[in-house]
Amino acid sequence: MLLVVSGPSGAGKDSLVDELRRLEPDLAYSVSATTRTPRPGERDGVHYFFISRPEFERMDSEGAFIETREYANNLYGTPKRFVEDALASGRDIVMKPEVNGALAIKRAFPHAVLVFLTAPSEQELAERLERRRTEGPDAISKRLEIAREEARHIGAYEYLVVNDSLAAALVKLHAVLRAERLKTSRLHEKNGSD
Ligand code: 5GP
């Protein structure tokens, strides 16, 4: 299963997916490639594959990505090989692209499960981005503008999780994963009869 946790920057995708992976160590995590510079503490190959724009463009032209997106002046992409290999070996995968990426993943993998994670309000989203101190005021207002546009796509998602607290959101996301794993339609997929 492909579990896609998406939603606006600042909604808390990173912390929530980290916690889910702690609960579910067998869940494979799809590390994206990006041309953004690493933030303090971010490691190449763990948080992202940090690559140059020419390298990103070369990989893209070779078909290395399932989807790519320019976001706040940087490129992001989901590597195809890892996802295909993990699915072929029967592992569930979690990833956390922005909204257009999630919609593109759904087009490529119609059985993907899309979860929209959002902060309780736009004000709370703004406060979280400010508290995080990873972007300046211009980058924050750009991210908020993108967030407004992203919210228009909620209808394309299977689930909505409002992140009012990490613990509560984790219970909900974990419930989604567990319920999805129990779906009889997934047994049919595994048996190739879907
Ligand atoms: P950040 O720079 O804060 O790590 O990420 C910026 C945005 O890019 C976030 O909303 C994040 O979810 C999204 N993102 C990260 N990796 C990918 C990816 O591979 N594809 C797409 N479409 N978005 C991504």
Domains of the chain: 2-191 (3.40.50.300)
Residue 128 has pLDDT above 90, yes or no: no
Q: In degrees rounded to 5, what are phi and psi of residue 169?
A: -65, -35
CB 161 within 8 Å of CB 116: yes
3-state secondary structure of 124: helix
Mean per-residue pLDDT, 96-109: 95
Q: What is the 3-state secondary structure (H, E, C) of 92-122?
A: CEEECCCHHHHHHHHHHCCCCEEEEEECCCH
Mean per-residue pLDDT, 73-89: 96
Question: CA distances (Å), 168 to each of 21, 156, 163, in order?
Answer: 16, 23, 7
Q: In which band, very low, low, confident or very high, does the pLDDT at 189 lie, cut at 50, 70 and 90?
A: low
Q: Which atom belonging to ligand 1 lies closest to the Cα atom of 32? A: 19
Q: pTM for the complete prediction? A: 0.91
Q: How many CA atoms lie within 13 A of 158 on its CB side?
A: 17
Atom 23 of ligand 1, nearest CA residue: 97
Residue 105 has pLDDT above 90, yes or no: yes
Q: In which band, very low, low, confident or very high, does the pLDDT at 174 lie, cut at 50, 70 and 90?
A: very high
Pairwise pLDDT comparison (125 vs 192), residue with the higher score: 125
Q: In which band, very low, low, confident or very high, does the pLDDT at 194 lie, cut at 50, 70 and 90?
A: very low
> pLDDT, tens digit, for every residue of 131-153?
888 888 888 888 888 888 888 99
Pocket of ligand 1, beta carbon within 6 A:
9, 13, 32, 36, 67, 69, 71, 76-78, 96-98, 100-101
Mean per-residue pLDDT, 62-86: 96
Residue 193 has pLDDT above 60, yes or no: no
